[in-house]
Protein backbone atom coordinates (compact mmCIF):
# COMPACT_ATOMS: atom_id res chain seq x y z
CA UNK A 1 0.00 0.00 0.00
CA UNK A 2 1.14 3.49 -0.70
CA UNK A 3 2.37 5.50 2.24
CA UNK A 4 1.41 8.91 0.94
CA UNK A 5 -1.76 10.92 1.41
CA UNK A 6 -3.52 11.51 -1.91
CA UNK A 7 -6.28 14.05 -2.47
CA UNK A 8 -7.99 15.53 -5.49
CA UNK A 9 -10.67 18.23 -5.54
CA UNK A 10 -13.34 18.37 -8.22
CA UNK A 11 -15.56 21.43 -8.70
CA UNK A 12 -19.11 20.41 -9.59
CA UNK A 13 -22.55 21.94 -10.00
CA UNK A 14 -25.47 20.10 -8.44
CA UNK A 15 -29.24 20.57 -8.39
CA UNK A 16 -29.74 18.55 -5.22
CA UNK A 17 -31.94 15.48 -4.85
CA UNK A 18 -35.29 14.51 -3.39
CA UNK A 19 -36.29 11.15 -1.89
CA UNK A 20 -36.81 9.70 -5.39
CA UNK A 21 -33.41 10.86 -6.64
CA UNK A 22 -34.81 13.64 -8.82
CA UNK A 23 -33.08 17.01 -9.14
CA UNK A 24 -34.90 19.69 -7.13
CA UNK A 25 -33.20 23.07 -7.63
CA UNK A 26 -33.98 25.31 -10.60
CA UNK A 27 -30.39 26.50 -10.71
CA UNK A 28 -27.42 24.36 -9.72
CA UNK A 29 -25.24 25.32 -6.78
CA UNK A 30 -21.47 25.19 -6.94
CA UNK A 31 -19.80 22.60 -4.74
CA UNK A 32 -16.45 20.89 -4.29
CA UNK A 33 -15.93 17.17 -3.93
CA UNK A 34 -12.64 16.20 -2.30
CA UNK A 35 -11.66 12.58 -2.85
CA UNK A 36 -8.88 11.24 -0.68
CA UNK A 37 -6.86 8.17 0.26
CA UNK A 38 -5.00 7.98 3.55
CA UNK A 39 -1.53 6.42 3.91
CA UNK A 40 -1.59 2.66 4.39
CA UNK A 41 -5.24 2.40 3.39
CA UNK A 42 -7.12 1.22 0.32
CA UNK A 43 -10.21 3.16 1.33
CA UNK A 44 -11.35 6.08 -0.83
CA UNK A 45 -13.53 8.73 0.77
CA UNK A 46 -15.20 11.91 -0.34
CA UNK A 47 -15.87 15.14 1.47
CA UNK A 48 -18.57 17.28 -0.13
CA UNK A 49 -18.42 21.04 0.40
CA UNK A 50 -21.96 22.16 -0.45
CA UNK A 51 -24.49 24.44 1.22
CA UNK A 52 -27.06 21.58 1.19
CA UNK A 53 -24.72 18.88 2.53
CA UNK A 54 -25.59 17.63 6.02
CA UNK A 55 -25.25 14.65 8.35
CA UNK A 56 -22.56 13.36 10.64
CA UNK A 57 -20.39 12.31 7.71
CA UNK A 58 -21.80 14.79 5.19
CA UNK A 59 -23.69 11.93 3.59
CA UNK A 60 -27.08 13.60 3.14
CA UNK A 61 -28.63 16.23 0.86
CA UNK A 62 -31.25 18.65 2.18
CA UNK A 63 -31.88 20.63 -1.01
CA UNK A 64 -35.48 19.41 -1.16
CA UNK A 65 -36.08 20.37 2.51
CA UNK A 66 -33.61 23.16 3.42
CA UNK A 67 -35.26 23.99 6.76
CA UNK A 68 -35.06 20.42 8.09
CA UNK A 69 -31.83 18.46 8.50
CA UNK A 70 -33.28 15.00 7.85
CA UNK A 71 -36.47 13.64 6.30
CA UNK A 72 -37.27 9.97 6.87
CA UNK A 73 -34.10 7.90 6.64
CA UNK A 74 -32.38 10.84 4.96
CA UNK A 75 -31.72 11.63 1.31
CA UNK A 76 -28.29 10.49 0.25
CA UNK A 77 -25.87 12.91 -1.34
CA UNK A 78 -24.88 11.34 -4.66
CA UNK A 79 -21.30 12.60 -4.27
CA UNK A 80 -20.70 11.30 -0.75
CA UNK A 81 -19.08 7.87 -0.45
CA UNK A 82 -16.66 5.59 1.34
CA UNK A 83 -15.28 2.87 -0.94
CA UNK A 84 -15.32 -0.11 -0.50
CA UNK A 85 -17.91 0.28 2.29
CA UNK A 86 -20.45 1.95 -0.01
CA UNK A 87 -20.68 -1.30 -1.99
CA UNK A 88 -20.84 -3.72 0.97
CA UNK A 89 -24.15 -5.56 1.16
CA UNK A 90 -26.08 -4.89 4.33
CA UNK A 91 -28.13 -7.45 6.24
**Before 91, cis peptide (omega within 30)?**
no
Q: Tell me if 79 sits within 8 A of 48, measured CB to CB.
A: yes
The DSSP code for 69 is: S
φ, ψ of residue 86 to 5 degrees: the values are -60, -25
31-66-46-22 Cα dihedral, nearest 10 degrees: -90
Question: What average pLDDT score do residues 76-87 get?
Answer: 83
Query: How do residues 20-47 score in pLDDT, each as one tens digit?
Result: 999 999 999 999 999 999 888 888 999 9
The C-alpha atoms of residue 13 and residue 37 are separated, in whole angstroms, by: 23
Better-predicted residue by pLDDT, 86 or 64? 64
- The pLDDT of residue 42: 87
Amino acid sequence: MGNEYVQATFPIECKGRDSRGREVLDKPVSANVKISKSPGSNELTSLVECCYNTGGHGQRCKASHPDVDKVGEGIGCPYSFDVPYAFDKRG
